[in-house]
Amino acid sequence: MVDTPKQLHLNAFLMGVGHHEAAWRHPRTDAARVHSAAHFQELGRIAERGRLDSVFFADGLAVGPRIKHNAQAVFEPVTLLSAIAAATEHVGLIATASTTYSDPYSLARKFTSLDHISGGRAGWNIVTSAGADEAANFGLADRPLHRDRYARAQEFLEVALALWDSWEEGALTLDVESGVYADPNRVHTLEHESEHFRVRGPLNSPRSPQGRPLLVQAGSSEDGKEFAARYAEAVFTAQRTLDQGRAFYRDLKGRLGRYGRAEHELKVLPGIVPFIADTEAEAKELEQSFTDLISPEYSLRQLSTMLGVDLTAHALDAPLPPLPPLDAIEGNKSRYALVKDLASSESLTVRQLIGKLGGGRGHRTFAGTPEQVADELTTWFAEGAADGFNIMPPYLPGGLDDFVDRVVPILQDRGLFRREYTASTLRGHYGLDDVGNRFAQGTAHRAG
């Protein structure tokens, strides 16, 4: 199945009470809602009302610099999405999980469970975890090297894919009369043994409605793009200008051929943080009202983490100090390059830089009327910079309400977005073919 060329894809990236780092302090939000599963269930229902393809939760495995001045993410994403699954029927459910600090067997089972619970709506955002503070929570003196994280991620994913295939379609027979629960000839062991993992298999959960979750990736480094070209079916990316978006889109799509993949098999979804109001002036005033609430102490710690340089004592009205070269960065290389380029290309002071990063940590922010937001999305889509968008409301739930109720109808009227769901699975929403099963031809060991 291939999508109609004129149809774009929309994912709602949900974070606490909004993506803006000061959202929890703003009068349009209630910070206490970050502790409420009901809040996130409501967001899932709003996204479904807009017929969005999916909702997505990022995740980190450490408190980081935000505990004093920023609302903390409370819930583990797959657990939270299971609660949202019970409150929705159609919208896809994408969770972040780390290949560096997880185990392939338990993670594969977790996502299979979510896919069963949701009726085929699960997606996995694959990350390698760039934070040094995350490493400390797992007994490591420092994070593994960037290249080593991606080498582990590749083997991790190969094991997970094999585990998801370990139950063939039809292996679960449930034949009450004969007393046969499952056909052992269709349940397979892996006997995987390599550099990072030894896994026998099979998975102790039958094949789920999608076969496996939608595979999502968000790294834009060279290693990240190559990994995405080989495995990902959707990519969340931060691109601040149309030219940058087009270049990234062409680069990534151009890598697919060497893995035997067609362009429609990978959807590129740049992030956008929309401030929406009746007039452009009002939208800009709304954005400024959030910027005014930024805590410099928090922002400097965040910026220090992004750049790998301690800026906590740096003068706010001075430019950035000299920064290390990209090849010296072991954290998030693509975000480092984006922030460094933003600061230099616009000759920003540190104060100006943290103001620009406050809405979406490097993702594009846009303030305008519903029509202007729709125009922006339409332009990027038409100009070959996006297959759709990762919508990052600056405040919640109101920012998502505004997008769904005021922007989506414009896109629908232009014929760019669905009016009703036409598929029952997340893969179907994204116009992707069903996945096959490597063991269907009897090429692996029987479970017995």
Q: Is the pLDDT of residue 71 over 50?
A: yes
311-321: average pLDDT: 78
Report the range out of 1-5, 142-146, 250-254 with the highest average pLDDT.
Answer: 250-254
- Give pLDDT, residue 448: 46
| Structure confidence at residue 23 as a pLDDT band (50, 70, 90) | very high
316-335: average pLDDT: 72
CB-CB contact of 128 with 153 (8 Å):
yes
Residues 6+ apart with CB under 8 A from 260: none
Bridge partners of residue 54, in order along the sequence: 11, 92
- Give pLDDT, residue 2: 44
- Give pLDDT, residue 333: 63
Reading the block at residue 272, the tokens are: 């956008």
Q: Is the dihedral of CA 371, 373, 378, 383 positive or negative?
A: positive
Q: How many CB atoms lie within 10 A of CB 137?
A: 12
257-272: average pLDDT: 96
257-269: average pLDDT: 96
Asked which of 176-185, 200-209, 285-294, 356-365 is least confident by mean pLDDT, the reply is 356-365
CB-CB contact of 394 with 18 (8 Å):
yes
Answer with the residue of higher pLDDT: 356 or 371. 371
Ranges of each domain in the chain: 9-291+362-446, 295-357
Q: Does domain 9-291+362-446 have CATH number 3.40.50.300?
A: no
217-226: average pLDDT: 87
Q: Is the pLDDT of residue 3 over 50?
A: no
- Give pLDDT, residue 159: 98
Q: pTM here?
A: 0.88
The rounded distance, in Å, linking the Cα atoms of 91 and 53 is 6
